Each structure stands twice: as structure tokens, then as C-alpha cells.
């Protein structure tokens, strides 16, 4: 199915469920929705950074500091996080919920942030969304000027709240 046609969970400005809508309509109308953010660190405390394909609907060609995406209709944040990690990187790893965020300024999303630890499992990239990955130190990841704004804001929140250092 065309990803823009997938039905996603819509919420109100207080994160209360308010039905569902097609992803393309949610983007076009800037509807409040939920999203999962999964930061993958390796044994050297480096972060897995993804390069987005050039045909992504938002921020094509940018780098994502985390795996993640929009929560589908009827899906929990945790199940969305597991699904996105599996889809984008081909990984099934234990997830640790860390914090919740909200993004305004046109994004209108409530985000749940998860951490996981990578131990060398084979990575299988989702060719329709990810062109490659690189492992960066926290400092280098935060200095990226072509990172998606929401992944950068989520990583900055993890650092500012002392969750990662």
C-alpha cells in the first residue's frame, strides 16, 4: 500500500485520540498526531544515523538521528516503535521508553522517545526510506546541520535531561 494512504492516529492538542486520517491528509492539514523515536546506540556509545531517501515526503535526503515514524491508527507507541525499528533497520531489539515530547511549529506531533542498544546484529535497510547508516558520537550527531529537526530536538532533549551523555 502507498504509505501516504496508511491511516494514522490523530489526536487533539492535548494528545487525546481524535480518530484517524490518511497520512497524506494528516501532513497536508498539519493535524496533531503521534510519532515514535528510537535512538540506537552501539557498544561504543555511538549513535546510528540514517540517510533518508530523496523521495521521502518530508525532509528528503536529510539525516535522521533515530529510527521512527508516525503511529498508525489503533497502534500503541511501543508497537509503533518496534515496527519502525524493524522496518527501517531490520532490527528487533529491546526498547527502553525514556521521555515524551511535543513538537509544534507545523509538525504538530506528540513523540515518545525510546533507547536501544545495538550489539552487531545484521542491519537490513528499508530501501524505500533509508539509503545508508553511519555511526557517530553524540557530539558529532548533534553538530549535523542536515538532521531532521524533530530527531535533533529529541536527541537534544535526551542530552538536556541527562538520559544520555
Of 140, 165, 163, 124, residue with least CA distance to 63: 140
Half-sphere exposure of 132 (CA within 13 A, CB side): 3
What is the structure's pLDDT at 105? Answer: 74
CB-based contact 165:138 (threshold 8 Å) = yes
Backbone region of residue 75 per phi and psi (left: phi > 0; alpha: psi in -120 to 50; beta: other values):
beta
Buried b / exposed e along 58-69 (16+ C-beta atoms within 10 A): eeeebbbbbbbb
What is the structure's pLDDT at 91? Answer: 98
For the chain, the first-to-last Cα distance in angstroms comes to 40
- Domains in the chain, CATH or no CATH each: 3-160 (3.90.79.10)
Please give the chain's pLDDT, 165 residues, in tens.
677 789 999 999 999 999 999 999 999 999 999 999 999 999 999 999 999 999 998 899 999 999 999 999 999 999 999 999 999 999 999 999 999 999 887 789 999 999 999 999 999 999 999 999 999 999 999 999 999 999 999 999 999 999 999
Amino acid at each position: 500500500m502507498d504509505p501516504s494512504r496508511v491511516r494514522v492516529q490523530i489526536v487533539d492538542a492535548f494528545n487525546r485520540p481524535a480518530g484517524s486520517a490518511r497520512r497524506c491528509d494528516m501532513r497536508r492539514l498539519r493535524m496533531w498526531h503521534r510519532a515514535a523515536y528510537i535512538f540506537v546506540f552501539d557498544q561504543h556509545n555511538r549513535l546510528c544515523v540514517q540517510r533518508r531517501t530523496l523521495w521521502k515526503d518530508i525532509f528528503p535526503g536529510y539525516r535522521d538521528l533515530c529510527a521512527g515514524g508516525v503511529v498508525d491508527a489503533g497502534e500503541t507507541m511501543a508497537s509503533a516503535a518496534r515496527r519502525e525499528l524493524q522496518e527501517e533497520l531490520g532490527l528487533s531489539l529491546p526498547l527502553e521508553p525514556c521521555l515524551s515530547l511535543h513538537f509544534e511549529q507545523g509538525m504538530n506531533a506528540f513523540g515518545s522517545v525510546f533507547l536501544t542498544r545495538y550489539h552487531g546484529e545484521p542491519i537490513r535497510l528499508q530501501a524505500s526510506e533509508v539509503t545508508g547508516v553511519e555511526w557517530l558520537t553524540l557530539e558529532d550527531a548533534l553538530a549535523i546541520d542536515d538532521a531532521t529537526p524533530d530527531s535533533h530536538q529529541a536527541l537534544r532533549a535526551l542530552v538536556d535531561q541527562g538520559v544520555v551523555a
